[in-house]
Structure 1
Amino acid sequence: MRKPTIQDVAKRAGVGVGTVSRVLNNHAAVKGATRETVLRAIGDLDYTPNPHARRIAGGKSYTISVLLPVVTTEFYVRLLDGLEKAFQEARYDVAIFPLLDRSRLERYLGSHTLAYQADGLVMATYNLSGLFQERRLRPQQPTVLVDAFAEGVDCAFLDNVTGGRMAGEHAVTLPGELYAIWVETELDQLFTTRVFEERRAGFHEAVAAAGRTVRAEFTSSFDAHAARSVACALLDGAEFPCTVFASADLLAGALLDEAHARGLRVGQDLRVIGFDDQPWAAARGLTTLHQPVEGMGYEAAQLLLGRLGGFRGPPRARRFEPHLIVRETA
């Protein structure tokens, strides 16, 4: 049997080929009922567009470049899930570019690189606003930031100050000394994230408002082995009972592992508050700040798709707010 064509879809849906094309390109001009009819015809016929022909006809790559720090952590896997879900619905492919180090970012600063040959650009987490302001980062295509905020750019971000404040307000109600673990936030001093800086600011604000102090603070890279080493150092010098705010669940998980290895009673000798609410957090009884990671990625993609669909309005900022989930660890 021959593969169905766009003409077959148009005939079955009772519309013109141009209307089918606009539906495939997620064009805003198609009425809802018409869109549903075309999508139903596509599903009935099991029609798959020819990507090569589509690119030639539309003068587009139908590819989105995603620049992000790493691809190996749960957070970024979940963020990519949200981004890819929206882009796949609009029939765009996703090309992932992990930054990792200074040399890669320097390469990406040149508009001739592969990352800039896509129709749109997503930049995750790192605070690149300085690069925009210095005109060192001048993408020609529509750009959106996710898990980050900058003036003059579409962005979807979490209110991390509020999250840190919520952690602090809960921590000060618990007995014993207060400790905190932060994530190293700079890569080669070139690009930084404000995420953990903002969580720290909110946490200290709440602790100070309660007339309390943080006994000691530790810093770890975003790596499981480094997190376990820092957990050892913290517990070696801790005065029990105590409460620890681990500013990412990865750090909290390492702290729980080390506490169990030492026979500490989590929830009594040691209380732990994390941040992220990763999928495993509930099973481990981790008190943590939930953030809608996939939803944030999906919304960022929608902002970019709006630009690709013709939106020319001012930059839009989509703010997400975390909420505290209290479980056994605190």
Structure 2
Amino acid sequence: MRKPTIQDVAREAGVGVGTVSRVLNNHSAVRGATRDTVLKAIADLDYTPNPHARRIAGGKSYTISVLLPVVTTEFYVRLLDGLETAFQEARYDVAIFPLLDRSRLERYLGSHTLAYQADGLVMATYNLTQMFNEHRLRTQQPTVLVDAYAEGVDCAFMDNVTGGKLAGEYAATLPGTLHAIWVETELDQLFTTRVFEDRRTGFLKAVAGAGREVTSEHTSSFDPLAARNSACAVLDEIAAAGGFPCTVFASADLLAGSLLDEVRARGLTPGQDVRIIGFDDQPWAAARGLTTLHQPVENMGYEAAQLLLSRLGGHRGPARARRFEPKLMVRDTA
């Protein structure tokens, strides 16, 4: 049985081959009803485009490069899921480039590298405003930021200041001393993120606005062992000061999970002796009863991909910003 062709799809949908091609390329010129008809024909026939033929015919790679800090954390797994869902729907492949450190970012500043041979570029999390302003990112292809904001560039970002504010407002209503654990970020401004700085800004402002103060602040790298060590340091300090009951805001669920483990290991009761508030609402958070800030990570990735796909489809308007807001999920730990 022969494989269906683009001509078969056009015949099934009652449109021209050019219309089918525009739908496959996510072109903005196709009306919604027509697009739905073509997509149904593609699904009914189980049609799969020949990627080699598409590249030759269109002069495109049909590949999107995604530059992100790491690929091993739950946050970035979820972010990639949102990005890849949208790109796969538009029949684009995704090439992932983890940066890991500043030297790799410097390598990618030149447009000759492999990452820039794709049709579009997604850059995740890092504060690249300065590099865009200085034109250090010589991107010939459309570019979108995700989990980051910069003027003059399409971006989909989380309002982390508001997230920190929600955590601070809620923590301030709870009895006992208040404490916080922050994720360490790179001090070099070229390779940094404002995510945790923004969470801290919102949290401290809300606590102060409620007439409360934070008794102690600790930092931890984004690593399970470091997170457990920080949890020990926080609890040791609180115990020495006779500070139970208390509330601890851990600015990422990785830190909050480690703190929860250590609280239980010491025979303390989460939600009574130590109230814990996290940030992320990772898939395991609900099962562990973790009070945390929910981030629609997959939706943010999907929207960032749609912004890029619209550029690839011909959109030439000004830069657009899509803002996402965290939501407080109150559970057993606080």
TM-score band, normalised by shorter chain: over 0.9
What SS is found at the alignment partner of 1:192?
coil
Question: 2:214, 2:192 → 1: CA distance?
Answer: 25
Give unmatched runs, 5+ long, in structure 1. Answer: none
Scaled by the length of structure 1, the TM-score of the pair is 0.98
Q: What corresponds to 2:314 in structure 1? A: 310
Q: Which amino acid aligns with 1:142?
A: P
Alignment root-mean-square deviation, CA: 1.1
Q: Deviations over 1:191-231 (max 9, x none)?
A: 11001001000100011112211111111111111101111
Alignment of 1:83-94 (within 5 A): 83-94=83-94
1:32 positional shift:
2.1
Q: Deviations over 1:69-123 (max 9, x none)?
A: 1100100000111111111111111111111011111110110001001111111
Question: 1:14, 1:306 → 2: CA distance?
Answer: 25
Question: 1:82, 1:284 → 2: CA distance?
Answer: 24
Q: Percent identity?
A: 84
Q: Deviations over 1:9-67 (max 9, x none)?
A: 22222222111111111111112222222222212221110000001100111111111
Question: 2:8, 2:201 → 1: CA distance?
Answer: 59
Question: 1:325, 1:241 → 2: CA distance?
Answer: 21
Contact 2:145 2:155 (C-alpha < 8 Å) held by counterparts: yes
Question: 2:39, 2:320 → 1: CA distance?
Answer: 29
Give unmatched runs, 5+ long, in structure 2. Answer: none
Scaled by the length of structure 2, the TM-score of the pair is 0.97
Q: What corresponds to 1:281 in structure 2? A: 285
Q: What corresponds to 2:175 in structure 1? A: 175
Q: Deviations over 1:134-186 (max 9, x none)?
A: 22112111111111101110111111111101101111111111110001111
Residue 298 of structure 2 is aligned to residue 325 of structure 1: no
Contact 2:245 2:274 (C-alpha < 8 Å) held by counterparts: yes
Q: What corresponds to 2:108 in structure 1? A: 108
Q: What corresponds to 2:302 in structure 1? A: 298
1:190 positional shift:
3.0
Question: 2:187, 2:217 → 1: CA distance?
Answer: 20
Q: What corresponds to 1:56 in structure 2? A: 56
Q: Which amino acid aligns with 1:193?
A: T
Alignment of 1:238-253 (within 5 A): 238=238, 239-253=243-257
Q: What corresponds to 1:27 in structure 2? A: 27
Q: Deviations over 1:273-325 (max 9, x none)?
A: 00111111111111111111001111111111111111111110111111111
Contact 2:27 2:310 (C-alpha < 8 Å) held by counterparts: no
Contact 1:28 1:309 (C-alpha < 8 Å) held by counterparts: yes
